[in-house]
Amino acid sequence: MQKTYSLLQKIMACFSMLLLSSCIKISENSKHNKKENIAAFDWFRYEGNDAIYKTLSADKEKYLNPILAGFYPDPGICRVHDKFYLVNSSFSYFPGLPIFESTDMVNWKQIGHVIDRPEQLDLKLAVSKGLYAPTIRYNKRFFYVVCTNVDAGGNFLVTAKNPAGPWSNPIWLPEIEGIDPDIYFDDDGKVYITHNGPPPNNISVHEGHRAIYMMEFDLEKSKTVGESKLVVNGGTDMSQEPVWIEGPHIIKKDGFYYMICAQGGTEYNHSEVVFRSEHIFGPYSSFPNNPILTQKHLDKTRANPVTTTGHADFVELSNGDWWSVFLGCRPYGDDLYNTGRETFMLPVKWKDGWPEIVGGKEPIPFQFKKPNLCSSKENISPMNGNFIWQDDFNSDKLDFKWNFIRTPSEKWYSLEKGKLLIKARKETIQTETNFSFIGRRQQHLNFDVSTKVDFKLQNQSQTSGLLAFQNEKSYFLLGNRLNDSGKQKVFVERVSKILNNEKREIVAETDLQENSDSVLYRIEGNAGLFNFYFKENENDSWILLLKNSDATILSTKLAGGFVGTYLGMYTSGNHFSTKE
């Protein structure tokens, strides 16, 4: 009995040893596998160096334009006591609708995103679809943001007690067609939503013919009341065939309702115009001196042009001064800009019952006298001017500057021990998915961006590296990959509609000498020309892989769409197994 028992015991012991060792193997393997599928980014450095800022002398009385540099279009602004809040469009980037707070309107601190939970919205869309043109307003202890999720639900409203969040889930507004909703709280307690929509009876009298409609909104029931009423047909003057009337905002002053709107389309001919009426639903008359903001008539060859200005919102300070925020672009060539549409600011002056943006039809100044507000003492990370920004990934949360493309459906990244670990998944840049990319905006015409990544390449499909991205048809990827004989190559892949008919093309490639898993990447951007560098050790000098590559392919003019260039970290387990 005893013998049998001890024999059994021995057998059991052997078996469990076997099991344990195979378990150890499995866990070692999975640990190994885990590492092998993970790109570990050590740090990310962004430096912006625009020549224009060097020509301006430091002046404590003045602020810099743009107030938010880089892709921050369609600004909406409101004031609550002594604080200002500003939101921007973000299209299919997640988290969506960045929100900023300021006490002096000069230093803007990002306090969060209005859309930051996947349950709020699932952005599974083309890059320039998704979240367009939000309006932010405050009424009786609540903040309201109305916005459009283009091609995925349409117009919606979200609310919050704290602008830093949490914001509610969307209340969808199916009765409201079109885009660019505004919410207006009248003195009598009534609420109105004003928006862009198709021309009356869906009949376009000319190309780009749109209209502005208004609807009452029942706040308690969170429902629209009655029908949308036409308030502006076409724009300022139908005989001039105005195009793309949009982005309305309602303001009340001295017994008049003012409606400011963008007109001309969000390109070179963009402008801001104003209408007024004694009654909320109109009739609205157009200001005889419209537009109140545009750069379209100015000499195209002027130095340091700001173009495309329009899509404004107004805010009144507690001292009765009025200011306007609006979008504009900083081209480096003939209507070429990679930085997208940015947020600018200028004062508003009222004269004879009409508002005008001060100097709105002259070249937009890069420096202007500050609003009459106390300067913020807080140390706020700069949103304009020349600066260096580095993330060493020592926090347990991603900085608000980082974005994903589309809503993540799984957690494929983590911050661990000073590294940002990103899983190389099957998704690639070419797919309209939430591929493994974490990026930030290009905020300067001239920039220098670099990162260090450790990634154990196991097969020829994988890659990781630094991505300059406008959309899946317009990007540069600087990364590494394995060749047929297991040697590591560092490469630049380019995709462009203009240069190579949207085909993926390796435009530069060389061997990595050490075949180690760690590579440093750097892209130096000089307006429309990019240089690509790499090295294998921090202390080495950078090796130039590709010089003066034509980066106009990342401009809005050539890439299309409404966003600006993102720079960031990318990895995929499948990048080279999917041929386009």
Q: Determine the Cα–Cα distance for residues 123 and 408; give it in Å rounded to an integer.
A: 9
Residue among 363, 313, 362, 305 nearest 337 (CA): 305
Annotated catalytic residue 246: yes
Question: Reduced to 3 states, what is the DSSP secondary structure of residue 3?
Answer: helix
Question: Does residue 313 belong to the site contacting ligand 6LW (CB under 6 A)?
Answer: no
Binding-site size, ligand 6LW (CB under 6 A): 15
Considering the complex, state which of residue 291 and residue 465 has its C-beta at the smaller distance from ligand 6LW: 291
Question: Does residue 262 belong to the site contacting ligand 6LW (CB under 6 A)?
Answer: yes
Considering the complex, state which of residue 149 and residue 450 has its C-beta at the smaller distance from ligand 6LW: 149
Among 66, 70, 73, 154, binds ligand 6LW (CB under 6 A): 73
Q: Determine the Cα–Cα distance for residues 478 and 490; give it in Å rounded to an integer.
A: 7
Q: Determine the Cα–Cα distance for residues 272 and 261; give it in Å rounded to an integer.
A: 6
Considering the complex, state which of residue 74 and residue 356 has its C-beta at the smaller distance from ligand 6LW: 74
Residue among 57, 44, 63 nearest 380 (CA): 63
Q: Determine the Cα–Cα distance for residues 439 and 564; give it in Å rounded to an integer.
A: 12
| Contacts to ligand 6LW from residues 81-100, by CB under 6 A | 89
Rounded to a whole number of angstroms, the minimum distance from the CB of residue 266 to ligand 6LW is 3
Please tell me which residue in 246, 356, 391, 524 is annotated as part of the active site.
246
Rounded to a whole number of angstroms, the minimum distance from the CB of residue 307 to ligand 6LW is 12
| Contacts to ligand 6LW from residues 499-518, by CB under 6 A | none
Which tokens is 135 given? Answer: 């309006």
Considering the complex, state which of residue 68 and residue 449 has its C-beta at the smaller distance from ligand 6LW: 68
Considering the complex, state which of residue 342 and residue 427 has its C-beta at the smaller distance from ligand 6LW: 342
> Counting Cβ atoms within 10 Å, is residue 201 exposed (0-12), middle (13-18) or buried (19+)?
exposed
Q: What are the C-alpha distances in Å from 521 to residues 58, 368, 515, 566?
A: 34, 38, 15, 16
Site string for ligand 6LW, 161-200 (x = CB under 6 A): ------------------xx--------------------
Rounded to a whole number of angstroms, the minimum distance from the CB of residue 318 to ligand 6LW is 29
Taking a C-beta distance cutoff of 8 angstroms, is the pair 295, 279 a contact? no
Among 108, 156, 475, 562, binds ligand 6LW (CB under 6 A): 562
Residue among 139, 258, 146, 261 nearest 190 (CA): 139
Rounded to a whole number of angstroms, the minimum distance from the CB of residue 154 to ligand 6LW is 13
Considering the complex, state which of residue 247 and residue 347 has its C-beta at the smaller distance from ligand 6LW: 247
Among 276, 311, 444, 481, binds ligand 6LW (CB under 6 A): 311
Considering the complex, state which of residue 261 and residue 421 has its C-beta at the smaller distance from ligand 6LW: 261
When CB distances to ligand 6LW are compared, the closest residue is 266
Rounded to a whole number of angstroms, the minimum distance from the CB of residue 270 to ligand 6LW is 6
| Contacts to ligand 6LW from residues 99-158, by CB under 6 A | 132-133
Residue among 317, 390, 456, 531 nearest 46 (CA): 390
Rounded to a whole number of angstroms, the minimum distance from the CB of residue 132 to ligand 6LW is 4
Considering the complex, state which of residue 128 and residue 463 has its C-beta at the smaller distance from ligand 6LW: 128
Residue 129's region, left for phi above 0, alpha for psi from -120 to 50, else beta, is beta
Distance of CA 164 to the CA centre of its chain: 18
Rounded to a whole number of angstroms, the minimum distance from the CB of residue 319 to ligand 6LW is 30
Rounded to a whole number of angstroms, the minimum distance from the CB of residue 90 to ligand 6LW is 10
Pairing of strands 223-233, 211-218: antiparallel
| Contacts to ligand 6LW from residues 317-376, by CB under 6 A | 327
Q: Residue holding tokens 């507000």?
A: 373
Q: Please give the sequence-ordered ranges of beta strands (E in DSSP) within 95-129, or none if there are none.
A: 96-102, 109-115
Question: Does residue 437 belong to the site contacting ligand 6LW (CB under 6 A)?
Answer: no
Considering the complex, state which of residue 71 and residue 402 has its C-beta at the smaller distance from ligand 6LW: 71
Please tell me which residue in 50, 74, 272, 427 is annotated as part of the active site.
74
Annotated catalytic residue 399: no
Question: Reduced to 3 states, what is the DSSP secondary structure of residue 16?
Answer: helix
Question: Does residue 247 belong to the site contacting ligand 6LW (CB under 6 A)?
Answer: yes
Q: Determine the Cα–Cα distance for residues 274 and 425; give it in Å rounded to an integer.
A: 50
Q: Please give the sequence-ordered ranges of beta strands (E in DSSP) within 70-129, or none if there are none.
A: 76-80, 83-87, 93-94, 96-102, 109-115
Among 39, 66, 74, 450, binds ligand 6LW (CB under 6 A): 74
Q: Which residues contact 114 (CB under 8 A, 6 or more apart)?
A: 87, 96, 97, 99, 134, 145, 147, 158, 160, 165, 167
Taking a C-beta distance cutoff of 8 angstroms, is the pair 94, 76 a contact? no
Residues serving a catalytic function are 74, 246
> Using CB under 6 A as the criterion, which residues of the chain lie in contact with ligand 6LW when the complex forms?
73-74, 89, 132-133, 179-180, 246-247, 262, 266, 310-311, 327, 562
